[in-house]
């Protein structure tokens, strides 16, 4: 269900981007998505009420799934995507690029405040309640908080609507891009391959939902998942190889025998130009979405908050709060300290290409470290205690119901911080590239494309987990989950190799080094001497 939810919600970003760019405009689409999300959360509140859950379980499940998939899943990731593109529209075209880049950083930082609250507070409240909130109403209270926040957001958006810059929707948007590329694909092989890659991505998304539905029907669901994985890898290669140069679209211009206005074709070329960059990010999202597997590792550490065998334990989901905590620390650190220091010593600002490259390298370190940590954790002794009958018993984790080993839970924090650091260096420049490198009329769809490749990463991750299934038993002490992490590190190294080659060829997101006055004089003297 979680996989289906993630894939569906991220895919809906493309639909929302199309509606925002071509039909309603960003403000109306944003307002509609927030309203739909609030209704979805209201359905979740009703489904979680004890009187409904205890007496009408079937009704509760139906209401819950309607609210989750037709309300929250349809709108929630769309909200994040639309806030990014709508926020970018508030800047003047003449504004320095650094101002817009700072907005993307602030947006990413603020979003992680919500994620921190979600991981740090809500898991415990959902299960155990809090203060005057009984455990039976834990989920109700959590969903109510989400509902209240959405209502406040909708109200603020409506009452402050006159202060915003609204870019009107235009018919020269994503539908026109599709029309031009499909038409050109009839006579151009490169265009055919770009279209084929897109079809493979969409087919993988749809088939993987089917695979999740058939997951309990023997190997059928697994085989479909494996096919989806092959589709995603092939689609990624096609987008990178055939998208690295969009010059093949030149012949679509009516000035050289094609059917379309040159200005429109130039806009399509800009969209195709960002496809390889987004394709490379698929493998990053595979690494970023490892937090569920990290939680499994944490749940087999010593999660006790005291020294007794029955002491309260740190909930596994709560440990994930260190990912947004890392983001809250690293965003200002990178923006105010690291990037300025780099500019001072390198003679130019940190480029978007360089930031993403550094993020990819950090992701490799994160995967290697997580694998090494699992080896260290597994080498420690299981925790035991002697019960009242004098029999030695294993200490069991409350969440995973597995044996805990003698290594503190907080020693797993670095893996969350490393992924957070990588995310800061990758996600923020990705927003910037997807917004700035395409025509104004296609920016919502372009930002949504970045979230869609997240969906492809989630899908590919689920397939990788299946491939390594025999090494990932319920009790990790009997497995070798580190093999998967080391494999992901190797895949990212290959991804980095081709990223460097392709991006250098495309010169996407790069900044030439700014020479100082003395350096210019030296160059001039060298030239004269050569003459």
Q: What mean pLDDT do residues 303-328 have?
A: 89
Q: What mean pLDDT do residues 279-290 have?
A: 92
Residue 120 has pLDDT above 70, yes or no: yes
CA atoms of 14 and 16, how far apart (whole Å): 5
Does residue 485 sit within a domain?
yes
- CB 441 within 8 Å of CB 271: no
Residue 531 has pLDDT above 60, yes or no: no
pLDDT tens, residue by residue, 442-478? 888 788 888 888 888 888 888 888 888 889 998 999 9
pLDDT tens, residue by residue, 368-381? 999 999 999 999 99
CA atoms within 13 A on the CB side of 157: 22
pTM reported for the whole predicted model:
0.88
Both ends of the chain: CA-CA distance in Å?
Answer: 71
Does residue 8 sit within a domain?
no
Residue 43 has pLDDT above 90, yes or no: yes
Query: How much of the chain exceeds pLDDT 70, in percent?
Result: 95
Residue 512 dihedral angles phi and psi, to the nearest 5° = -70, 150
Band of residue 530 on the pLDDT scale cut at 50, 70, 90? very low
Cα 521 to chain centroid, rounded: 46
Boundary of a domain, candidates 120, 149, 168: 168
Say which residues have a Cβ less than 8 Å from residue 465's Cβ, sequence separation at least 6.
293, 472, 484
Q: Are residues 137 and 223 in the same domain?
A: no
Q: Are residues 116 and 207 in the same domain?
A: no
Does residue 512 sit within a domain?
yes
Band of residue 418 on the pLDDT scale cut at 50, 70, 90? very high
What does 246-289 look like in DSSP terms, one character per residue?
Answer: -GGGGGGBGGGT-SB-HHHHHHHHHHHHTHHHHHHHHHHHHHHT
Does residue 159 sit within a domain?
yes
Boundary of a domain, candidates 111, 134, 168: 168
Q: In this predicted structure, what is the pLDDT of residue 523?
A: 47
Q: Are residues 59 and 207 in the same domain?
A: no
Q: Provide the β-strand partners of residue 452.
A: none
Q: What mean pLDDT do residues 53-62 have?
A: 93
B/e letters for 91-102, b = 16+ CB within 10 Å, e = fewer, are eeeeeeeeebbe
Boundary of a domain, candidates 131, 146, 168: 168
The mean of the pLDDT values for the chain is 89
- CB 259 within 8 Å of CB 268: no
Residue 224 has pLDDT above 60, yes or no: yes
Q: Are residues 116 and 153 in the same domain?
A: yes
Band of residue 495 on the pLDDT scale cut at 50, 70, 90? very high
CA atoms of 246 and 180, how far apart (whole Å): 13
Closest CA to 14 of 101, 58, 74: 74
Residue keyed to tokens 């991505």: 201
Q: Are residues 435 and 291 in the same domain?
A: yes
CA atoms of 258 and 202, how far apart (whole Å): 28
- CB 494 within 8 Å of CB 293: no
Q: Are residues 198 and 136 in the same domain?
A: no
Q: In this predicted structure, what is the pLDDT of residue 515?
A: 52
- Which pair of structure tokens corresponds to residue 275? 């496809």
Q: Are residues 140 and 209 in the same domain?
A: no
pLDDT tens, residue by residue, 129-166? 888 999 999 999 999 999 999 999 999 999 999 999 99
Q: Are residues 72 and 190 in the same domain?
A: no
CA dihedral 93, 99, 103, 109 (to 10 degrees): 160
Q: What mean pLDDT do residues 116-135 have?
A: 88
Residue keyed to tokens 């996407």: 508
Q: Are residues 149 and 183 in the same domain?
A: no
- Which pair of structure tokens corresponds to residue 380? 């420690």
Q: In this predicted structure, what is the pLDDT of residue 512?
A: 66
Residue 517 has pLDDT above 70, yes or no: no
Q: What mean pLDDT do residues 512-518 have?
A: 53
Find the CATH number of the domain harbouring 399.
1.20.1250.20
Q: Are residues 158 and 275 in the same domain?
A: no
Residue 292 has pLDDT above 90, yes or no: no
CA dihedral 80, 86, 88, 94 (to 10 degrees): 180
Does residue 184 sit within a domain?
yes
Q: Is residue 524 packed enough to be buried (19+ CB in 10 Å), middle (13-18) or exposed (0-12)? A: exposed
Domain count, the chain: 2
Q: In this predicted structure, what is the pLDDT of residue 218?
A: 67
Does residue 1 sit within a domain?
no
Q: What mean pLDDT do residues 170-187 have?
A: 84
pLDDT tens, residue by residue, 328-363? 999 999 999 999 999 999 989 999 999 999 999 999
Q: Quote the domain boundaries for residue 486.
A: 174-531
Residue 516 dihedral angles phi and psi, to the nearest 5° = -80, 165
Q: In this predicted structure, what is the pLDDT of residue 366?
A: 96
Q: In this predicted structure, what is the pLDDT of residue 445?
A: 79
Q: Are residues 403 and 438 in the same domain?
A: yes
Does residue 370 sit within a domain?
yes
pLDDT tens, residue by residue, 248-284? 999 999 888 888 989 889 988 998 999 999 999 999 9
Residue 513 has pLDDT above 60, yes or no: no
Helices 291-298 and 413-436, interaxial angle, to 10°?
170
Closest CA to 250 of 184, 197, 195: 184
Does residue 3 sit within a domain?
no
Higher pLDDT, 39 or 15: 39
Q: In this predicted structure, what is the pLDDT of residue 524?
A: 46
Query: How much of the chain exceeds pLDDT 90, in percent?
Result: 58
Tell me which range, 79-88, 308-317, 334-343, is most confidently predicted by mean pLDDT: 334-343
Q: Are residues 162 and 198 in the same domain?
A: no
Q: In this predicted structure, what is the pLDDT of residue 46?
A: 96
Closest CA to 207 of 187, 180, 226: 226
């Amino acid at each position: 269900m979680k996989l289906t939810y993630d894939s569906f919600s991220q895919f809906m970003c493309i639909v929302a981007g199309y509606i925002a760019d071509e039909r309603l405009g960003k403000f109306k689409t944003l307002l509609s998505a927030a309203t739909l999300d609030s209704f979805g959360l209201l359905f979740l509140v009703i489904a979680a009420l004890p009187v409904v859950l205890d007496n009408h379980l079937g009704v509760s499940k139906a209401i819950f799934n309607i609210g989750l998939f037709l309300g929250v899943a349809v709108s929630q990731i769309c909200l994040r995507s639309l806030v990014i593109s709508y926020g970018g529209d508030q800047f003047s075209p003449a504004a320095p690029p650094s101002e817009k880049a700072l907005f993307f950083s602030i947006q990413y930082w603020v979003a992680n405040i919500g994620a921190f609250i979600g991981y740090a507070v809500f898991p415990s409240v959902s299960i155990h309640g809090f203060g005057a909130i009984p455990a039976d109403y834990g989920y109700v209270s959590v969903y109510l908080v989400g509902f209240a926040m959405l209502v406040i957001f909708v109200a603020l958006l409506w009452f402050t609507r006159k202060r915003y810059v609204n870019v009107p929707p235009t018919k020269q948007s994503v539908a026109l891009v599709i029309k031009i590329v499909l038409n050109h694909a009839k006579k151009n092989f490169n265009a055919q391959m770009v279209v084929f890659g897109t079809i493979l991505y969409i087919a993988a998304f749809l088939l993987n939902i089917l695979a999740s539905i058939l997951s309990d029907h023997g190997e059928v669901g697994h085989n479909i998942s494996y096919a989806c994985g092959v589709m995603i890898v092939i689609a990624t290669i096609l987008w990178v190889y055939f998208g690295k140069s969009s010059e093949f679209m030149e012949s679509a211009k009516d000035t050289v025998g094609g059917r379309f206005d040159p200005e429109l074709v130039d806009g399509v070329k800009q969209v195709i130009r960002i496809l390889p960059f987004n394709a490379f990010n698929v493998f990053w999202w595979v690494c970023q979405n490892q937090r569920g597997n990290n939680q499994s590792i944490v749940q087999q550490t010593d999660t006790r908050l005291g020294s007794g065998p029955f002491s309260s334990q740190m909930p596994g989901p709560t440990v994930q709060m260190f990912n947004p905590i890392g983001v809250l620390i690293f965003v200002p650190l990178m923006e105010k300290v690291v990037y300025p220091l780099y500019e001072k010593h390198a003679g130019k600002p940190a480029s978007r290409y360089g930031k993403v490259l550094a993020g990819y390298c950090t992701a490799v370190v994160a995967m290697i470290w997580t694998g090494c940590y699992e080896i260290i954790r597994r080498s420690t002794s299981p925790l035991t205690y002697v019960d009242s009958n004098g029999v030695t018993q294993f200490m069991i984790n409350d969440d995973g119901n597995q044996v805990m080993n003698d290594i503190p839970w907080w020693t797993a924090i670095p893996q969350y911080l490393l992924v957070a650091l990588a995310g800061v260096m990758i996600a923020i420049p990705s927003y910037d590239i997807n917004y700035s490198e395409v025509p104004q009329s296609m920016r919502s769809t372009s930002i949504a494309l970045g979230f869609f490749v997240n969906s492809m990463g989630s899908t590919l991750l689920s397939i990788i987990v299946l491939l390594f299934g025999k090494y990932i038993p319920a009790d990790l002490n009997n497995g070798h989950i580190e093999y998967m992490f080391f494999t992901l590190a190797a895949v990212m190294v290959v991804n980095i190799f081709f990223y460097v080659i392709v991006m250098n060829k495309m010169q996407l997101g790069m900044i030439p080094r700014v020479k100082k006055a003395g350096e210019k004089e030296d160059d001039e003297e060298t030239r004269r001497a050569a003459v």
